[in-house]
Structure 1
Amino acid sequence: MDNLRPAHSRLTRAQFRQQHLLNLKTFSNDLQEALSNAQPSGGNFKSVEVLALRFENDTMGVDALERELLDVFQSVYHYNTSSFVIPVINSEDHLYQHLIKWTLDRAQKETLRIYVYSGHGAPAGTTDLTWWIGGQVDAHGNLRGPRVNIRALLYSCERFDGEVLYIFDCCSAGSIAMRDGPEALTACGWEQESSTHPNWSFTRVLIDTLKDIKGQPTPVCQIFSRMYRFCQQNQIGRCPLHIPKMGRPSITLRPLHTASTRPIQPVRTHNRVLLCITLNGGVSVPSIQEWQRWLTTNVPADVLGVEVKVEAAFSGSCKLLITVPVEIWTMLPLRDNYHFVAHVTSNNTLDTSTPLPYRPAAPSGRENRPLAET
């Protein structure tokens, strides 16, 4: 998880100690919160506004996919959509003026604002305070020509009433996410390159995923899980990234002004995440069994299909290996006790009841020494 989440802000000593005092009860609470936050929420938005951004000097031809994405938001979800082409002259000033005016006109508590960007992005790490985007790059992938510090501009828009969702398709797209910022769905992580092929781009996969969902109420984390599964199955080089808003349910995308539809059920999939959980003290078999009983009695029946499973526990160790679905992993709170191990497609396949054959050490006689020593 460390390389797929924003870096922690500076922690106090008390917070640092608290993070490391993790037991099964605390982990159970975190898991329950992640399960709840990954479920479709009620229709709490009276209005959803979508603003798509691209540069005037764009050379990748992102306008066609942008129009198709906005058409899906408008025709299927009945969202209000608009686009803004960032001019090459005084780019940052014009963009700032448009963002502030557009945001102020839509700053209501029951409004969701979705900011979409397609284009180029400069490399930026998880702790960088600036992040630049532009319409063109040189042969080495560096921004060329007009550029804007999009992180600073959008930060000014986050303080107004309403919820915010970022959808960014560019290199280093995860850089739009801050530790306690809005929820984000991006083409890639920090300092990573995104796919430039139109048929395999992030926006193309997002459009196809939304069309497949057909307007059923779906949390963004589950949309991400579907997109991730598609990228894995089709061996696309770069998988998308989801960054939740800390301590909040994932935003549910649902059509406005239509009869209530049944929330989409999570797709049963073999794609899971293997995590290593570091607990305070050792792990005992009774405590693991107690935790498994909690899991089956406290988690709602419609959520049991998420297949959270203990894969390994060891006597005398504070480490616990578990597998969770992708959408649950991405909704877990940030803790140093949770370590990403790998993406997997099955549970533990080893028969742990059959130990490997014991091979005794080689004898130490002269016949086993190198020829040069004999």
Structure 2
Amino acid sequence: MPKFKSPLSVVLFLLCMLCLAQGATAQKKAKDLFKVKSPKIQYVRPDTTILIEYEEFDDENSDAGKSINFSPKKELSIVSEDTTELDLGQQHIVEVSDEVLIDSTWIRIAGYYAIWDTRNINPYRMDARQLKDTVEVQLYDPRSNRNYKMPLEKTPVTSHFGHRGYRWHFGTDIDLDTGDSIFAAFDGVVRINKWDGSGYGNYIVVRHYNGLETLYGHMSKAIAKPGQFVKAGEMIGLGGSTGRSSGPHLHYEVRYQGNPIDPEYLYDFPDYLLKGQNFQITSALFNYYNKSKSSSSNSGRRSYYHTIRKGDTLSGIAKKYGVTASQVAKLNGMSTRSTLRVGKRLRVR
């Protein structure tokens, strides 16, 4: 403490010290005012379960997964079987003598289809790789009022036929908005209208007069019913994103005797038309199956998981993945009455 000669000196010294203190405080406040504080970042782990493990790949036990089966079984013959129905669920043999009047023309049903199955996409058990001859298919014939129609009003392709991920993709995906109209590609009869929760979602299969079948998957609503005769261009359903789908689109397949054909062999989707009036089917079209089988066999075992969200129920989760609530409970070592905790991962397959 310095020595002061008078009381006035003491007062002046104290005033100076007070001013210095106030200046330092003001300077500190100014620095704090302009100081940029780093925001607190809370890391949230992204939920990729649905995108990677659910939406992209059909489950092997789904209709989509079971639709490729070239294991030959007893060949069904409308000549050797003295019956109109076999013990095969909803699979039927149609009598040769049956005929139906369609567009003023009598069509012999037995020549049109020998196996009628409203549940299984591929009941034929025919390996098209073993075809010996070329099959000539007339896709449409305007002279007989047999026309064709593109399955959608617009056909932007989002995914092609071929290897995708660890599975083979047996159709062409076409972009659409939920609720868009889906049309029958050719004249024919609806064979299947079904729900496939772990694959195609709402889907329809139509058998056509030209010998092909077409499949329309992931619809928000399937309208046409089994046994219904449809003309090319007739609306059969509405677009959606049901089943294993990462967004609204139409999964479109073309099949011959249960064997998928790359739709882009028949269609020029960018130009919105068929490539020709006729199409040749040979065994070479189906050589892809050797690659698809190899890729599937090398994929190993894969488990599927669902991350519980608010409002989820065990039965709702099970339905979404095409399994039962008891199966999910057993896989996770819990009971069907257990409380679901938001954020927890459940194994569903």
Same fold (TM over 0.5): no
Bigger Rg over Cα: 2
TM-score by length of 2: 0.22
TM-score by length of 1: 0.21
Q: Which structure ranks higher in relative contact order (CA pairs < 8 Å, sequence separation ≥ 6)?
A: 1
* Greater helix share, structure number: 1
